[in-house]
């Protein structure tokens, strides 16, 4: 399962929150881990757990019906191994040009 952090602007009234709940209910396999509401701002931060990554498009289309701006980032999973580092090679000069030392 993939977790996604989603931020969108929602009207700060009962109708806006109701629209958000309806949009999340439209994608049945989305489980909200950080429920909307609470903060008195027009931006809502959610963490959504999707059973399949392919459902992210459906969720985003639904959320765009509420807000024109929806920001998404993937939440790193604790079980995933860290990404391998980038190998950096030292550069050296050869006859006036720079080449990678191998």
Can you tell me whether residue 100 is helix, strand or coil? Answer: strand
The domain limits of the chain are: 2-74
Domain 2-74 sits in CATH at 3.30.70.260
Percent of residues in the chain assigned helix, strand, coil, to nearest 5? 25, 30, 45
Contacts of 53 (CB under 8 A, 6+ apart): 2
The pTM for the full model equals 0.60
What is the tens place of the pLDDT at every residue in 36-52?
555 444 567 888 888 88
56 or 28, greater pLDDT: 56
pLDDT in the model for residue 40: 43
Check whether 92 has a pLDDT greater than 80.
no
17-26, 62-71, 88-97, range with the lowest pLDDT: 88-97
42 or 6, greater pLDDT: 6
pLDDT in the model for residue 52: 81
């Amino acid at each position: 399962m993939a977790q996604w952090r989603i931020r969108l602007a929602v009207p700060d009234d009962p109708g806006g929150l109701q629209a958000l709940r309806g949009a999340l209910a439209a994608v049945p396999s989305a489980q909200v881990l950080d429920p909307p509401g609470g903060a008195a701002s027009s931006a809502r931060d959610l963490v959504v757990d999707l059973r399949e990554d392919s459902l992210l498009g459906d969720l985003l289309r639904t959320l765009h019906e509420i807000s024109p701006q929806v920001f998404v980032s993937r939440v790193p999973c604790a079980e995933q191994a860290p990404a391998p580092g980038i190998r950096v090679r030292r550069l050296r000069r050869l006859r006036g040009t720079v080449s990678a030392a191998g």
